[in-house]
Amino acid sequence: MRDMFQAAGAKDVLVLSGTWIQEMITSSVSLRRHLPRMYGLGDLTQILDERRYSQAHAFLSRLGDESLATFVRTKFYAQAMDYLDNHGFAILVGGAGSGKSITAAALAIGAVDAYGSAVIRVDAPEEFRDAWNPHEPDQLFWVDDAFGVFRFDARSTEKWVRNSGLMRTAIKNGARFVFTSRDYILEAARGEFKGTARELIDRRVDLSPHGLTVREREQILYNHLRHGDQPKSFLTEIKGHLHVAARSTSFTPEQARRLGSIYLSSGLESGSERQLLEFFENPIDHLCEVLRGLDQDSLSALCLVYMAGAGLKSPIAFTSREVEALDLIGGTKAGVTRALGRLSGSFLLRVDTQTSPRWKFYHPSLAHALAKHIGQNTELVEIFISGLTERALFTMVDCGGQQDVSRETVVIPEVCYDLLINRISELQDTRLLCESPEFAEFLSSCCSPAFLLRLAELRGDIIEKFTSVDTLHFGASGIKLLARLWKAGLLLDKERRSAVVKIIESAASLPIDLEVDFDWAKTSATSELTTSDEYQELRERVFRDVIPELADVIEDPGSTIEWESEEDWLYIARHYEAAVHAYRAAYEDHPDASAELSYTEDVLRTYLYSSPLCGGGFEEEESEEARGEGTGSRSIFDDLDSV
């Protein structure tokens, strides 16, 4: 063959065997890790040995049948891989549907392939402590929604902070960690990480869909439609409009997946560009329409999964509470059992856990749509309340306190307040809710004045537990709660003044351990709890007695402060960094304080970031081809409907 080409005039001829590409993929771990979609296109047994294949199959099963076949390598993935290789830790941050879990899976299977890592999915620090083996150095711990699923989980965050030292020890011994978190939840958690613990979450990778190039968006759309179950006629009609969808400011990888599903895109006219854009711009509204069109068995199945919280056991045993829910919705046991299988791959996934297989939502935003649907139906809300767990109360319930419709919570109508209070009473009697920081946060952030007044009528003893200065030990949540109770007329002025005195005394002093109390600056509720004179006194005393001291402490070379270790100094420096961030909002109308804070910020930057802690920034110049903006080239969607 070579002679034939040369005889025809070719100067250099390279002839490769028909299996050359397969051989290159099989022989190069680096190639596979940099293009993880390869793991999803062929038979993993050809690449991984039996042990590695078994565990890879176990965690990939949690992502659906499509596995990694639809994954598109982006600069975000490359940055995360760099953090994981060089620092042993990466936290993937983004909004709903931004691709956090699939990116984590790509990192995990790459670690299995390259290092022989044992990948362990954990939900809590206790599980990490139990699973970590210092004699098995290549473990990789994968933690989805580490600091809360739908909203900030203070208790879980505090546990991870307490275990950060053990995590660093594990990293030094060769372990790796992949965390995921929604962006707004990580912002709430950031202030809890101080000292060297802060270095971990500084290794964040922001999976912003706005940062995806047009070419990457088009490839994501193409892959999901190509591997979805849409008929050829749908693909033919829609492919001419997909370049517009790829440029939508509301584009997310998860919504691209739904477009590839007959079930999740039902009702969409494939030939309508306007409807296609609305599909991306209003994803929850479209899902609610899909839910309204479901049969009773399918809706019952989804409600049972939602009520289960941690996942519905498979096979389902039907408790008395679940049977009662079926009666109200209209489903049957046999029908629900069939519906679970029917919803698999679209709404639901059946995943293996440490105890038993469980049905879970394919993506948390699907639970968001169901939450909205439940909130519009009083009968369904009653079902939800009847099975409410402590965790669900803290993460899923909104009694008129939050206005952000993007949060996946069930809005409880006033007509159901008494039902919820009865359930809270049961939980208080068995779980001592009033001692929980999460319950204080729930009352302060998720409950309207009307709910608090009704709670005071039916369970005045619960409210009374939060009407003293002791509530301040809940930090910013305690201040918010006292302000809420004051505005609702449930806090005596005597108790209010006692709390204000305590806030001022604590905030305006620099204790011997050098940690300042800046909880008052974390929330605007401080100004609602105080009079204008009290708030002014608080600000002036902190400005006079605390803020100027921060830079002095950081710049102290050790002549007046004896630091036991560099870690102690770093801990205080990170603590002051968080304080300055909070003070900024409290003093935005105070020029002198703002100038002092800017100086302190510069000092902190000089000492903390003179050498990057997280590696350099991740900037890439893109060619016209990479942006997908070139003219005259064929569209990636041209062959979408070909067999």
Q: Please tell me the predicted confidence (pLDDT) of residue 7.
A: 81
HSE of 485 in the Cβ direction (CA atoms, 13 Å)?
Answer: 28
Distance of CA 593 to the CA centre of its chain: 35
Residue 47 Cα distances to 61, 85, 107, 138, angstroms: 18, 21, 16, 19
Q: Which amino acid is at 491?
A: L
* Over residues 171-197, mean pLDDT: 87
**pLDDT category of residue 143 using cuts at 50, 70 and 90:** very high
Burial pattern 368-395, b for ≥16 Cβ within 10 A else e, equals: bbbbbbbbeeeebbbbbbebbbbebbbb
pLDDT at residue 52 tops 50: no
Query: If pLDDT is split at 50, 70 and 90, which confidence band does 219 have?
Result: very high
Q: In this structure, are residues 262 and 230 in contact, taking their beta carbons and an 8 Å threshold?
A: yes
Q: What is the pLDDT of residues 26-49, one digit of tens each?
A: 666 666 666 665 554 454 444 444
Q: Is 573 helix (H, G, I), strand (E, B) or coil?
A: helix
Average pLDDT, the chain: 83
- Domain range 20-207, CATH architecture: 3-Layer(aba) Sandwich (3.40)
Q: Does the pLDDT at position 384 exceed 50?
A: yes
- Dump strand ranges (E) for 5-113: 89-94
Share of the chain above pLDDT 90, in %: 38
Q: Which two tokens stand for residue 432?
A: 């001592």
Segment 411-421 shows an average pLDDT of: 91
Distance CA 35, CA 494 (A): 65
| Cα–Cα dist 519/125, whole Å | 26
- φ, ψ of residue 118 in degrees (nearest 5): -90, 115
Task: Give residue 325's pLDDT.
Answer: 85
Lowest mean pLDDT among 486-495, 583-592, 598-607: 598-607
Angle at 313 between CA 311 and CA 317, to 5 degrees: 140
The single-letter code of the amino acid at 384 is F
Structure tokens that stand for 10 in this block = 């070719």
Q: Apex CA 339: angle with CA 337 and CA 344, to 5°?
A: 105
The predicted structure's pLDDT at residue 15: 83
In this structure, what token pair is assigned to residue 639? 């062959």
Per domain, the residue ranges of the chain are 20-207, 214-281, 292-487, 493-608
pTM for the model? 0.64
Average the pLDDT over each of 7-16, 323-332, 336-345, 529-538 and give the range with the smallest value.
Answer: 7-16
**345-371, pLDDT tens digit by residue?**
889 988 877 678 899 988 877 887 887
Alpha helices, H only, 145-282? 154-162, 164-172, 183-190, 197-201, 214-226, 232-238, 242-246, 253-259, 273-281
- Asked whether residue 53 carries a pLDDT value surpassing 50, the answer given is no
Tokens, residue 606:
């000089």
Tell me the pLDDT tens digit for each residue of 62-98.
554 455 778 888 889 889 999 999 999 999 999 888 8
pLDDT value at residue 375: 75
- Which of 31-35, 117-121, 507-511 shows the lowest per-residue confidence on average (mean pLDDT)? 31-35
Distance (Å, whole) CA 217 – CA 627: 10
Q: Rounded to an integer, what distance in angstroms lies between the CA atom of residue 180 and that of residue 171? A: 18
What pLDDT sits at residue 362?
A: 85
Q: Residue 34: its pLDDT value, please?
A: 64
Phi, psi angle pair for 139, to nearest 5°: -75, 145
- Alpha-helical segments (H) within 202-355: 214-226, 232-238, 242-246, 253-259, 273-281, 283-292, 296-308, 320-329, 333-343
> Tell me, what's the pLDDT at 560?
57
Structure confidence at residue 17 (pLDDT): 78
Phi-psi region at 309: left, alpha or beta (left = phi > 0; alpha = psi -120 to 50): left
Residue of higher predicted confidence among 271 and 585: 585
The confidence score (pLDDT) of residue 615 equals 35
pLDDT at residue 289, rounded to an integer:
87
Angle value at C-alpha 323, between 318 and 326, nearest 5 degrees: 120
Is a pLDDT exceeding 60 seen at residue 166? yes
Tokens of 284: 């929850």
Q: What is the pLDDT of residues 438-480, one digit of tens each?
A: 899 899 989 999 999 999 999 999 999 999 999 999 999 999 9
User: In this predicted structure, what is the pLDDT of residue 620?
Assistant: 39
What is the average per-residue pLDDT within 12-16?
Answer: 83
Mean pLDDT of 522-540: 96
Note the pLDDT of residue 62: 55
For the cut 50, the answer to whether the pLDDT of residue 617 exceeds it is no
Enumerate the β-bridge partners of residue 359.
Answer: 312, 350
Residue 102 confidence (pLDDT)? 86
